[in-house]
Each structure stands twice: as C-alpha cells, then as structure tokens.
Amino acid sequence: LSRRKSISHSDLAREFSGLHTSDSVYAPTPSPLSTQGRQELGTLQGLYQAAARSDYVRSYLESYGRKSSHGSLPTGPLSPSQAALGSALSKVVQGLTGLRNLGNTCFMNSILQCLSNTKELRDYCLQNQYLRDLNNNSRMRTALMSEFAKLIQLLWTSSPNDSVSPSEFKTQIQRYAPRFVGYNQQDAQEFLRFLLDGLHSEVNRVLVRPRASTDTLDHLPDDEKSRQMWRRYQEREDSRIGDLFVGQLKSSLTCSECGYCSTAFDPFWDLSLPIPKKGYGEVTLMDCLRLFTKEDVLDGDEKPTCCRCKARTRCTKKFSIQKFPKILVLHLKRFSEARIRTSKLTTFVNFQLKDLDLREFASQSCNHAVYNLYAVSNHSGTTMGGHYTAYCKSPVSSEWHSFNDSRVTPMSSSHVRSSDAYLLFYELASPSSRM
C-alpha cells in the first residue's frame, strides 16, 4: 500500500478480505517516511484495525462479491466509527472513474464529475450523512438524492480504469425535471440548476414552510435588511446543499430624479457573467465580474417605477455580493439567443486557478472572499453540435484530471484554462490557508 498513491476498489476489497480478525496491530516493514507518509500510514493502520472488526466492511466485502467492481457502499445509517471508516476509505481511493455516455448525455456527465470533486458534497454522500436529512414525507420524493449519492459512491469506490453507467440516476432526474427526458443535447448550466434544486428539495430541513411574510423591511439599514431577508429565506429553504452553494446578491436601484436608492437581497445558486467584447487584449474573469457588477442605466421602456416619485423614472441599477457562498459557480455566458439562431462566443477568458480575490465586488467590508478553482465544465464545438467535458482537481491528491465521459486522464494545471471553459467551480479558501 505504501508503494502506491491510490488503490482500486477491487484491490481494496482484496486487502480487507485478507485481514485476520484478531486485534493485532498491522506492522509494515520499516522504511524512511516523510511526515505526510507517516500520517497516511497511521491512517491506514487505523483503517486495517477497524476493518478487522467492522460489520461495515464485511457488508462492503459482501457487496463487492455480489457486484464485482461496481459495488457500492452500504446505504444504512452509520455509527460515528463507521462514518470515520467511510472517511478513511474515501481517502484511499481516488474517484477517477468515468461515466458512460448514454446518448448525448455528456452535459450530465460533465456536471456530475464536477460535483463528485466538490469535497463537502462528496463526503456528504460517501459518509451517508444525507440519510438523516431525507424528507421521508409521503408527499416528497427522495429517489433523486439517493441515486445521486449511490452514483457518487460508485465513482469513488470503482476502479480508476473503470466506467459506470448513470442510467438509474438519469431515470430520477428526468422524473424530477421532464425536460431531460430523452437523449437530446442539453445545456450544462440548466442541468446543474435543476439538479441542485432537486437535491436541495429532498434534503430540505424545513418540513413545513411558514407563510411568506408581507412585512416591508425598507425602513431597516441595508445590513439588517439583508440579515432579515436571509433569515426569511432559511425559514423556508435550509439544506446541506444550500449551505454549500447559496449566496446572497444585493441589487441597488437609484432614481435619477429624487436620488432615492431602493435595495433588494436575493439568494443565488450561481452567477451568470457576460463576456465583454474587446477589440484588443485578453479578457479576464475579473473583466467579466466587473461588467456584471457595473452600473447600468435603465431608461426608455426599461424605466422602473420609483416608489418615492410614484412615477416611472430613469434609474441606475447595480449588483454586488452581500453573502459569499462556500462554493461559487460562475457561468460564462457563451450562448446568446439571436433572432435566427443561437450563437456562441469562443472568447478566451483568462481565469485564476488560485487566490481569486473578490472583495472588490462585496457590498460591504469583507475580509473573506478569496477562492480557489477546483473544477471546470467545458463546451467544445458549436451550437449545432458540441461536446461537454470536465477538468477536475481531486480533493484527495490535488491533481488535475480530464473527464471525457468514460475516459479519465491526468492533465497539467497549465492546460485547465481554455476557450471552452463554460462553468467555473470555485471553493472559498479558509482564512488559515491564506496566512
């Protein structure tokens, strides 16, 4: 085990099945180890000891025997020791399994691989934490979350050289969102939105939603207003999925006649960024964000009604980020609806892989808005015929791989940026990691 960086599902099962059921400590041949190596070895020693006595692993091995390389982790509730063992298992395998294309389902495979490499979401599924959050209410469907979790488990317990079929998962997503019935090519961003919404609804901690409040909050200062709006949102929508992906956007509308500024605070799951058209020089992700947050003039047919003037007036509108999410998904708007047909922008957008500092887009003073990239959903080709792939950074090894349906290949981080980048997945950096 110490000679290899990863171990496949089948090798893992063979190692476990070869263990004696005694309580003796596994003692490897002494060899010089780095600090990290000693830590990993310590983890494996603990894993072996726990495995020797674990009903969880026995169930795992039985599942392996029945299903060969496509076994899945047991789906029953876990004790704390079993959850710790599940966590150790997830560190041993690498999650480098491909997804079979069922017929124009590359858009789905691309997003699923990006979500599979979202560390906290992966752990939520691998450690079966989602089971305690499922709404087992007869009116609520819970099959989508269950199939999603099973698929994530398969991706992290199958052989790196293998591929698995997402057909059972597809059956559930198209029940939740009938637009995905069939085998037509779909938009990856739309799929992501529907999927996250479906997962959220099935593990929503709120079982009975309160009536929507009609009380106005306009008399409150903006900071207090945003907190109250967030509280109202969470009284109705509160899940582990939302904990990761949902932020809060502030929109300000200023009347050019009386100067009154009205504000609104809305939750967001991703941000759709326009791509500026430059005649020269490169376009950066910061350019896109600045274009998204710049002041826009609303005039002519777009004039809103000022609540103070009681009339339609020329106004300026501006977006800023009030609350930054743990996982920030940035959608580059490459596709535009034209009168005749949809067109695609192939502009190369230069984006940061590390230390993306978004504090200038915060609506208030903020010291914690630095992000690191961990996944990209790419679209190559045209609107008439294209293909989706994913580039993902492993939450275990921190190495980048290309996921092209069934094929998974290592890649250099220097190749992550391309003009095919469509959805960027960023994780909020911990303050300590930046010190």
Residues with a catalytic annotation lie at: 106, 387
**8 A C-beta contact, residue 59 and residue 74:** yes
Closest CA to 376 of 388, 387, 392: 392
Burial of 295 (0-12, 13-18, 19+ CB in 10 A): exposed
User: Is the distance from CB of 428 to CB of 325 less than 8 angstroms?
Assistant: yes
Residues 61-75 as b or e (16 or more Cβ within 10 Å = b): bebbeeeebbbbbbe
H helix or E strand, kind and range, residue 42: helix 35-52
Please tell me whether residue 78 adopts helix, strand or coil conformation: coil
Residue type, 154: L
Q: Does residue 373 sit in helix, strand or coil?
A: strand
Q: Which amino acid is at 45?
A: Q
| Positive or negative torsion for Cα 263, 264, 270, 272 | negative
Contact between 85 and 54 (Cβ < 8 Å): yes
CA 306 from centre of chain: 38
Q: What residues contact 413, with CB distance under 8 A and at least 6 apart? A: 353, 393, 400
On whether the CB atoms of residues 112 and 166 are closer than 8 A, the answer is: yes
- Sign of the alpha-carbon torsion through 261, 267, 272, 273: positive
Nearest to 202 by CA among 173, 231, 230, 180: 173
Cα-only R_g, the chain: 24
Query: 253: helix, coil or strand?
Result: strand
Structure tokens at 154: 């398969």
